[in-house]
Structure 1
Amino acid sequence: MEFNINIATLSHVDGICLINSLCFPIPWSRAAIENEIVNENSLYIVALKDNEVIGYAGTWLILDEGHITNIAVHPKFRSLGVGSYLLKELMEQCKDYAIHHMTLEVRASNTSAQNLYKKFGFTNEGIRKNYYSDNGEDAIIMWKYDI
Structure 2
Amino acid sequence: MKNLLNILRNQEVYQMATQAVHSLNYELTGEAARKASDGVKHPVMARIAAKLEGESDVRLAREGESDYVIHLRVATAADIEAITALELVGYDGYLAWEQEDFERDWRTNPYAVYLLLEHHSVNDEDVALVGMVTGRFLAKKAHVSHLIVHPDFQGHGLGSYLLNQWLTLAKDEKIRQASLEVRESNLTAQMLYMKHGFTVSQKKYNYYYNNNETALLMVRPLN
Number of paired residues?
A: 147
Contact 1:8–1:37 (Cα < 8 Å) also in 2: no
- Residue from 73, 77, 80 that aligns with 1:6: 73
1:26 Cα shift?
2.7
Q: 5 Å matches for 1:19-38? A: 19-24=86-91, 25-37=94-106
1:126 Cα shift?
1.2
Q: In the TM superposition, what whole-angstrom CA distance separates every residue of 1:85-122 from its partner, at most 9, and x where no partner exists?
A: 11011111222332121011100001111111011000
TM-score by length of 1: 0.91
Gaps of 5+ in 2: 1-59, 61-68, 121-126
Distance 2:173 2:105 in 1: 16
Q: In the TM superposition, what whole-angstrom CA distance separates every residue of 1:28-84 from its partner, at most 9, and x where no partner exists?
A: 222222343453211110011113110000122232101110101111111111111
Contact 2:112–2:134 (Cα < 8 Å) also in 1: yes
Aligned to 1:46: 116
Aligned to 1:116: 192
Contact 1:37–1:43 (Cα < 8 Å) also in 2: no
Aligned to 2:51: none
SS in 2 for 1:40: coil
Between the aligned residues of both structures, percent identity stands at 29
**Structure 1 residues 81, 36: CA separation in 2 closer, same or farther (over 3 Å shift)?**
farther
SS in 2 for 1:63: coil
SS in 2 for 1:3: strand
Contact 1:3–1:47 (Cα < 8 Å) also in 2: yes
- Pick which of 2-11 and 34-43 moved more: 34-43
Name the one with the larger strand percent. 1
Q: Please tell me whether Structure 1 or Structure 2 has the larger radius of gyration of its CA atoms.
A: 2
- Residue from 148, 168, 173 that aligns with 1:72: 148
TM-score by length of 2: 0.62
Aligned AA for 1:122? F
Over the aligned positions, Cα root-mean-square deviation in angstroms equals 1.6
Contact 1:42–1:58 (Cα < 8 Å) also in 2: yes
Name the one with the larger helix percent. 2
Distance 1:71 1:114 in 2: 12
Aligned AA for 1:116? L
Distance 2:76 2:201 in 1: 33
